[in-house]
Chains A and B, each alone.
Chain A
Amino acid sequence: MASRAYSFFPSDSLLHRMDALSKFLWLVIASVLPFVMWDPRQLAIQAIFLLLVSVFLIKTDLGSVLRTWGLLVFLASLLLFFHITNRHEGDLVARFWVLSIYSDGLRVGLVYSLRVVAILGASYIFVRTTNPRHLVVAIISLGLNYRYAWMLFVGLVSLPVFESEVQTIKEAQMVRGLRRHSNIVSERLEMYRRYMMPLLASALRRVEHLAIAMDSRAFAAYPDRTFIDDFHWSWSGVLLLVGTLLILIVLLVWRILLHPSIGLVSPT
């Protein structure tokens, strides 16, 4: 079976062994970092660092890493192109036939696109290496009601099921003569409308069955419940978290001391 790129992949890497809460907090900080950085080179360093971690440290299949990062680079390129073609301030840097690239467009485009790469790259590492159940246990240990945390968990683990259901519905409707691809917007909307009804019926059936299966095993019977795996902080996770936090603090101090004019969050 094909492994889905943006989902948990069981392995025994250092990142897999870190506790889920440290990684979650690391993700939060790693997502804030790109907004503190003001130079595209800083962002590029973060993106390359995350790429190297994805390739060498999370022990997943290389194909999945390359596909995901390929998609991220593609998205980033689209953003970059959008900014280059829409911002005409600053100095003219280069001209290709009808396309003129100005310094502001290039800088802002690079900042935006590298931010996207950095945030999605960090979340890829998090999703790929974190068992959603461990995250749920960790969140519950912080005081969140387990009923809500479990809803989040079931949602996360059900996504691949619905993805495969959509694929089956697409094929089932193709057989009826419905085209899979159309470039006309109205046709596309009509196509999605037709997918919705069977998908909704199927989702309701699945949700009903799952609810019965969970209720009949005493889910939510008591205000709290046991977990066979308690949450524990891991040294490696805490080190990662503290290290990233330090980088954030250093960057903030640097900005305030050296570039007081640009404020706490980078301009675009």
Chain B
Amino acid sequence: MITIEDLTYHYPEAKSPTLKSISLHVNPGELVLITGHSGSGKSTLFHCLKGLLPHLYGGTLEGKILADGQDLSKMRVADISVHVGLVMQDPDTQFCNLFVRDEVAFGVENLKLPAKECVARVQSALAAVGLLHASDRLVIELSGGEKQRVAIASVLAMDPPVMLLDEPAANLDAKSGREILNFVAELRRGGKTILLVQHDLDEMIHVADKLLILERGEVLDYGPPRALIEKYGATLTSAHHIGLPQVTLAALGARRAFGSASLPLTVQEFASWVLKPPQHGAAQPRSPEVIGTGQALARPAVVDAEDVSYAYPRAVNQVVKKVSLRVQEGEVVAILGKNGSGKSTLARLLVGLLKPRQGVIRLGNRDVAQLRHHDIHRLSGYVFQYPEHQFLTNSVQDEIGYGLEVQSVPRAEQQRIIADVVASLGLAGLEARHPFTLSGGEKRRLSVATMLVLEPRLLILDEPTYGLDEGNVVNLVRLMFEQLRHRGITFLFITHDMRLVAEYADRALVMHHGELVFDGAPKDLFRDSALLERSELLAPPVVELTNTLAQRGLAVPDGTITVLQLCQALNWVYAQESEKL
């Protein structure tokens, strides 16, 4: 169906090609999972397949892209759109209509099909994504998952046999993301050929027919996912910065439990292939290497909210309803909830960016409403989802020093603090660069550095892993969190990534329709399946694995929520067993 022969693409004025000699073949009805670190050429490959490159944005393309024997690189973009459809990561940035029906009709209208046929196709596409009832709704009123389904429907209406999906679940909460990926699997079953870019392999690795690994614009490997996972094992993460599924990681970390069996890709495979469990009782985990302790210690409160409610100006409904919480010094707290549940509003209230309509917030025992802007700024920090929103100056050095300048810190002291933060966050050598020219991971580190220098008592990170690939998530987040911990800064982070919560958070707060419905240890949250269901959250795969193992007689210790904890537990169990033998 799709054959790519020796594809090389050069962006205009780029020194070297972004894609180098890519060759691969995709059979009709296959689902190809594409992965690779940031900048490996995934999106560029999609844009070449869609004909956007080089036709609309220039550059030079060599080689061939054949679909049904026709060379796409020689076709007009409009003609390609009936062969290949593209769905991007952020649904909000791809809409150009107000109403759902108009958005889905956009593509077929451009193809000049008769109006009657356009209407029929729109209805059929909306029915396929389960949104026929929402036809007359405004796009902005939909949830994140619904928006992404509208984006898929607008491509489906054009009925291309091949669909390219560029991280369609990345901007969604876990449950909506899973629904979208399930729908993608359904599309494949319906006969579509799917190429899916995805950083997180957990959900789709077992569904995919092939895995394409890109590295620096070249094909590192291409073939059946199981074969590639077996071939690369842990080096996929360590050498190529690609995250393995949690189940596979756990199996790699507890090889002793598997004998000679191959690596599992799903919870069911793990549970079936693990060696017969020993009979001498429950496993005991060693101290897990996690930053958070999960213990509620009596320490002074950094921030304290009492019956806080908030509604945006001109809005009818409250987005935060009677929330009370107390965050103690040194705690690491995750704020969770589906899109629109009130997480970001709550966080903005805590640092005085918004003023509560009702209730009181105390930052360091002082009412935020009574504090001057200067004092709030000294006590708290907030790293936004898009770091570039916060950049104010023309160099990394000035950017880090800006807050110190505002606080009138003496120059010599400023230099010392800046040098310390630059070194500890791996920004050395970048001091003269303009902040907007940094990579995604560097921008994130810089925005944390701008806050660290002020040593706030409370720091809030909004989606710290947003837009980062697995290599960046592992290295950068660990680095950032360890620095915060090391400096004794209490921090809260808003996230959809439950693995991050399991690994780093002492405590989880769950928001649902503006209410705080859970405040406790992550392990207790992951145990409460009814609450997870109600709040539309998903526990990380390792929790599902732990539960399944327990059901099959392998008593993994209660509260095992990270891969490391599970591996330690299994290794302990099977080590005891071998010693016995």
Contacts and interface: CB of A to CB of B under 8 A. Distances in A.
Contact of B436 (A67, A175, A201): A201
Contacts of A197: 391, 436
B389 A198 contact: yes
A10 B138 contact: yes
15 contacts: A1-B140, A1-B141, A2-B315, A132-B98, A133-B99, A171-B384, A175-B381, A176-B390, A177-B402, A180-B373, A202-B388, A209-B94, A215-B56, A222-B78, A230-B115
Given A175-B381, A202-B386, A210 B313 contact: no
A227 B314 contact: no
> Which of A150, A175, A227 has the largest count of B CB atoms less than 10 A from its CB?
A175
B348 A221 contact: no
B450 A176 contact: yes
Given A157-B98, A202-B386, A218-B107, A226 B115 contact: yes
Interface string A215-226: 111111110111
B158 A228 contact: no
A3 interface: yes
Given A178-B392, A201-B388, 10 more contacts: A172-B386, A175-B351, A176-B390, A177-B374, A217-B81, A222-B112, A226-B111, A228-B102, A228-B105, A228-B115
A41 interface: no
Interface string A113-136: 000000000000000000111000
Interface of A: 1-3, 5, 8, 10, 63-64, 67, 131-133, 150, 153-154, 157, 161, 168-169, 171-180, 194, 197-198, 201-202, 205-206, 209-210, 212-222, 224-228, 230
Nearest to B354: A171
A173 B390 contact: yes
Nearest to B386: A202
B52 interface: yes
Given A3-B314, A154-B96, A171-B348, A226 B88 contact: no
Nearest to A154: B96
Given A171-B353, A217-B107, A202 B88 contact: no
A177 B94 contact: no
B54 interface: no
B321 to A, nearest CB: 16
B309 interface: no
Contacts of B119: 228
Given A2-B313, A175-B377, A206 B93 contact: yes
Q: 8 closest Cβ contacts across the A-B interface?
A: A221-B78, A213-B94, A217-B107, A177-B406, A2-B314, A209-B93, A172-B389, A218-B110
B384 A172 contact: yes
A1 B351 CA distance: 22
A218 B77 contact: yes
B386 A210 contact: no
Interface residues of B, number: 70
A73 to B, nearest CB: 18
B98 A133 contact: yes
B403 interface: yes
Contacts of B108: 226
A221 B402 contact: no
B391 A157 contact: no
B382 interface: yes
Contacts of A3: 314
Interface string B70-113: 00000011110110011010101111111101100111111111
Interface string B439-465: 000000000001000000000000000
A213 B390 contact: no
B195 to A, nearest CB: 14
B314 A217 contact: no
Contact of B109 (A157, A174, A180, A226): A226
A39 to B, nearest CB: 36
Given A64-B314, A224-B112, A215 B52 contact: yes
A218 B406 contact: no
B110 A221 contact: yes
B50 interface: yes
A1 B315 contact: yes
B190 interface: no
A226 B122 contact: no
B38 interface: no
A157 B115 contact: no
Given A1-B312, A225-B112, A226-B112, A214 B96 contact: yes
Contacts of B90: 209
A219 B97 CA distance: 13
B65 to A, nearest CB: 15
Contacts of A67: 314
B151 to A, nearest CB: 8
A206 B436 CA distance: 16
Contacts of B313: 2
Contacts of A215: 52, 56, 77
A20 to B, nearest CB: 13
A132 B154 CA distance: 20
Contacts of A180: 373
A132 B102 CA distance: 12
Contacts of B122: 228
B96 A210 contact: yes
A221 B47 contact: no
B76 A221 contact: yes
Interface string B331-356: 00000000000000000100101000
Interface in B24-79: 47, 50, 52, 56, 76-79
Contacts of A2: 312-315
Contact of A212 (B88, B114, B381, B386): B88
B315 A210 contact: no
Nearest to B55: A215
Interface in B347-368: 348, 351, 353
B106 A217 contact: yes
A212 B97 CA distance: 15
Given A205-B93, A225-B112, A218 B392 contact: no
Nearest to A168: B389
B52 A217 contact: no
Interface string B143-160: 000000001001100100
A225 B110 contact: yes
B118 interface: yes
A175 B114 CA distance: 53
Interface in B391-416: 391-392, 402-403, 406-407
A177 B403 contact: yes
Interface in B220-247: none
A153 B98 CA distance: 10
A194 B392 contact: yes
Nearest to A4: B314
Contacts of B102: 133, 228
